[in-house]
Amino acid sequence: MTDSSLLSSLLDALQLLLLGDGKLWSIILVSFKVSSLAMLVAALPAVICGFLLAYMRFPGRRLLISLFNTLLAVPAVVVGLTFYILLSRHGPLGDWKLLFTQTAMVLGQIALCFPIMVAMSHAAFQAIDLRAWETARTIGAGTVQAFMMIVSEARYAILGAFVAGFGRIIAEVGASMMLGGNILHYTRNIPTAIALETSKGELSQGIALGIVLVTLSFLLVSVLHYFQGRGQIQ
């Protein structure tokens, strides 16, 4: 490829972004819709799990902790494959007819971001002194209220866990491709579109979406750093 064609692709990409190309923005919208939904479902249960693992003593606790730590390293394609088998027509959940829908993508992304958010909020709660919980209880807070007080103590680290969870799913290709099927205006999101457009030789589309992802990653990392910094000052 010559330099000039790369440059013109880049210019085309910027033009697509700035002029608000309909197809491009529908792809970006799918990405955000699916990943936000997954986060919405997974965030609170993950924080509660992290809390229970950090503060409660029950049999199997250590095993669960290593399980989540293992799960967070499982490649997205493998998660995709697992859900593909479950949801495919002859699979155990085949009757739900969910394969190649946004719901299937949301399910896969929940499975991807949940373990990392559990592991990170577990670490966040572990950094908070047990006396915080005891103090909350002894000044008269009920279980839920005491939980909220501890969450507030660990807020920066927990926000960090959310950012990391979102970062894990917004840019992954494997699960989205296998579970969504890359259908335009429905299940085609940023990463699957990049893979497709590039393979078709439509570099400018790919680059435009790549710019969106890189900008987003940069923002997420900055936010993460900010929260980690705030957490340390406390």
Partner 1 sequence: MSYKPTNIQYSNIHKRWKRHIVLKEVDIHVQGGHCILISGKNGSGKSTLLRIMAGLVKPDQGTIELGLGTLPWKQGVKITQQQVMYLHQTPYLFSGTVEKNLRYVQAAHNNLPIEMEDINKAMAWANIRHLSHKPVHQLSGGERQRVALARARLRSPKVLLLDEPTANLDKDSRARVMELLSSLRKQGVAIVIASHDPIHFSSVIDQRLRLIHARLEPEPSQPDNIIPLHERGASHS
Type of residue numbered 161: A
- For partner 1, give the closer residue by CB, 145 or 217: 145
131 binding partner 1? (CB under 8 A): yes
Distance CA(66)–CA(62), nearest Å, equals: 6
126 binding partner 1? (CB under 8 A): no
Closest by CA to 35, choosing from 145, 198, 175, 133, is: 175
- For partner 1, give the closer residue by CB, 63 or 233: 233
136 binding partner 1? (CB under 8 A): yes
Which of 65, 86, 141, 213 touches partner 1 (CB under 8 A)?
141
Q: Look up residue 37 and give its two tokens.
A: 């939904």
Closest by CA to 54, choosing from 150, 122, 132, is: 122
Which of 20, 22, 59, 140 touches partner 1 (CB under 8 A)?
140
109, 38 Cβ separation under 8 angstroms? yes
Which of 5, 143, 145, 222 touches partner 1 (CB under 8 A)?
145
- Residues binding partner 1: number (CB under 8 A): 18
Which of 77, 132, 196, 220 touches partner 1 (CB under 8 A)?
132
| Contacts with partner 1, 146-185, as mask; x by CB under 8 A | x--x--xx--------------------------------
Which range, of 75-83, 144-152, 184-192, 195-203, touches partner 1 by CB under 8 A?
Answer: 144-152
Contacts with partner 1 by CB under 8 A lie at 129, 131-132, 134-142, 145-146, 149, 152-153, 234
